[in-house]
Amino acid sequence: MSESYKEEIRDLTLFANMDEANYRALMRGAYVQNFPPRIDLIHENEPPDFLHVVLSGSVDLFSAWNGRETSMATVRPVSTFILAASVRNLPYLMSARTLEKSRIALIPSQDVRAVFSEDSAFAQAIVAELAQCYRAVVKNTKDLKLRTSLERLANYLLRQQDRTGSLEFDLTMEKRRLASFLGMTPENLSRAFKGLEPYGVKVAQNHIVITDLEDLTRYAKPNPLIDDYSA
**Closest CB 149 distance from DNA, rounded Å:** 4
Per-residue contact flags (x/-) with a copy of itself for residues 39 to 58, judged by CB under 8 A: -----xx-------------
Selection from DNA, a copy of itself, none that 187 binds (CB < 5 to 8 A by kind) is DNA
- CA-to-CA distance for 37 and 59, rounded, in angstroms? 9
With CB under 8 A as the contact rule, which of the stretches 25-33, 69-77, 161-169, 210-218 interacts with a copy of itself?
69-77
* Consecutive H or E run containing 62: strand 59-65
- 117 with 123: CB under 8 angstroms? yes
- CA-to-CA distance for 84 and 203, rounded, in angstroms? 38
Selection from a copy of itself, DNA, none that 167 binds (CB < 5 to 8 A by kind) is none
Q: Interface residues with DNA (CB under 7 A)?
A: 148-150, 174-176, 183-191, 193-194, 203, 205
Using rule CB under 8 A, residue 16 touches a copy of itself: no
For residue 78, say if its preceding peptide bond is cis, omega within 30 degrees of 0: yes
Burial zone of 126 (CB within 10 Å; 0-12 exposed, 13-18 middle, 19+ buried): buried
- CA-to-CA distance for 228 and 226, rounded, in angstroms? 6
- CA-to-CA distance for 135 and 209, rounded, in angstroms? 30
**Is the Cβ of residue 162 or residue 174 nearer to DNA in the bound state?**
174
- Residues 83 to 142 in contact with a copy of itself, rule: CB under 8 A: 83-85, 87-88, 90-91, 93-94, 116-118, 120, 123-124, 126-128, 130-135, 137-142
**Is the Cβ of residue 87 or residue 182 nearer to DNA in the bound state?**
182
Question: Which string of b and e fits 138-147 if b means at least 16 CB within 10 Å?
Answer: ebbeebeeeb
- 54 with 79: CB under 8 angstroms? yes
Selection from a copy of itself, DNA, none that 185 binds (CB < 5 to 8 A by kind) is DNA
- 226 with 155: CB under 8 angstroms? yes
| Residues making contact with a copy of itself (CB under 8 A) | 44-45, 63-66, 68-70, 72, 83-85, 87-88, 90-91, 93-94, 116-118, 120, 123-124, 126-128, 130-135, 137-142, 144-147, 183, 221, 223, 225-226, 231
